[in-house]
A = this chain, B = another copy of it.
Amino acid sequence: MTPKIARFLAQHQPATPCLVLDVDRVEENFRALRNALPLARIYYAVKANPAPQILQRLVGLSSHFDAASIEEVTACLDAGARPEAISFGNTIKKVSAIRQAHERGVGLFAFDSREELEKLAAHAPGSRVYCRIRVENAGADWPLSRKFGTTIESAKELMTEAATLGLDPYGLSFHVGSQQTTTQAYEAAIGKVAMLFTDLTEAGVNLRMINLGGGFPTRYRDEVPGIDQFGNAIMRAMTEHFGNALPEMLVEPGRFIVGDAGLVAAEVVLVSRRDRNDPVRWVYLDIGRFGGLAETEGESIKYRITTPHDGTRMGPVAIAGPTCDGADILYEKTNYRLPLALKSGDRVELLSTGAYVSTYASTKFNGFAPLAEYYL
């Protein structure tokens, strides 16, 4: 928790659940990544948190932006981003979205299939395009691989055709999975994509760029490697494969930029035992999987939780949300322990929840309003 957030919580005691985020920390994280990878252009993954306060701060830092939808393109433009600084990075786009983005000056698009390439050729002619390759997601707490990316063979064919279709075959991309905790994942993916890059270049395709995706982790319960370690590993792999002829490099961080900048303030609604002698207490919070904490699905992302009783005796707990939905359980199998003194009405904080929380919140599931948001 940053001092600014601590002061805000103490002074305002805002109604819960709410997200409180320190925009200065966003800037610090952005600068840390820029220092760790000075040769890469940073495209902030807007989906991690599209708050105007964040986008405006990043525009001021000359960030680029990775948009998942025409609505996110618009949010970036509204925050002052130039269209040239925006990549439409979703490989699944409606024709109407492609056309609108193209009209507004966006000229960089992702794809991973023939149909999408043909849509881009028809509705965003002349644009720079990059093809997403499927790579291993081992080591990622929130993997992506089954849904996105194509094979080396298919990418080769499609990138070769792109110029014929009137598009600019600009580069290749991959994504090693979100909350990726190993640097090796990037090294292996770079090796795979570099071979294709060389093959295509030798075949006469004018490739200039490799998009390394995002996935850089935030610290939750467990330690993760620092951003410098990722920067070093990536540069080592790039140099190994490309020598001095480095292509342009893009990265698309989301979680790393905003994750540890925010926290969710919540309230304990109920503490119960199934039976008098059951050692496990069920702790029900006023936010759950459908109130924004969607990444606790499968207990994937394990948030740190602070309580007013920290330092006193602890016992095992299962932690759940406030809805009548049986799937609204945050942690039951993971070994969470919370103070025995915890009770209904206590305020708690879920740390490092600045990314992938506010936008996941349901509109009104069980009647509960989406969580409030404060940007400091």
Contacts and interface: CB of A to CB of B under 8 A. Distances in A.
A177 B94 CA distance: 38
Given A113-B273, A276-B154, A90 B343 contact: no
A97 B109 CA distance: 48
A75 B89 CA distance: 40
A79 to B, nearest CB: 13
A72 B366 contact: yes
A130 to B, nearest CB: 15
Given A72-B367, A366-B69, A95 B274 contact: no
A287 interface: no
Contacts of A137: 326
Interface string A146-183: 11101101100100000000000000000001100000
A362 B360 CA distance: 5
Nearest to A112: B272
B360 A365 contact: yes
Contacts of A271: 115
B275 A151 contact: yes
Interface stretch (A27-35, A36-44, A190-198, A317-325): A317-325
A280 to B, nearest CB: 11
A71 interface: yes
A177 B367 contact: no
A24 interface: no
Nearest to A72: B367
A267 B96 CA distance: 12
Contacts of A299: none
A144 interface: yes
A70 interface: yes
A187 interface: no
A326 B276 contact: no
Interface in A329-351: 329, 332, 343-345
Contact of A69 (B70, B75, B89, B368): B368
Copies in the complex: 2
Interface size bracket, A side: 35 or more
B344 A95 contact: yes
Interface in A40-87: 46-47, 50, 67-72, 75
B367 A363 contact: no
A279 to B, nearest CB: 15
A268 B320 CA distance: 35
Contact of A367 (B67, B112, B148, B361): B67
A68 to B, nearest CB: 4
Contacts of A274: 134, 150-151, 154
B359 A142 contact: no
A12 B47 CA distance: 32
Contacts of A144: 324-326
Contact of A92 (B284, B326, B364): B284
Contacts of A112: 272
A247 interface: no
A295 to B, nearest CB: 9
B344 A119 contact: yes
A47 B363 contact: no
11 contacts: A50-B367, A69-B366, A69-B367, A71-B368, A90-B322, A115-B270, A148-B326, A150-B272, A150-B275, A151-B275, A359-B365
10 closest Cβ pairs, A-B complex: A113-B272, A144-B326, A71-B367, A69-B367, A72-B367, A68-B366, A92-B284, A359-B365, A68-B324, A92-B270
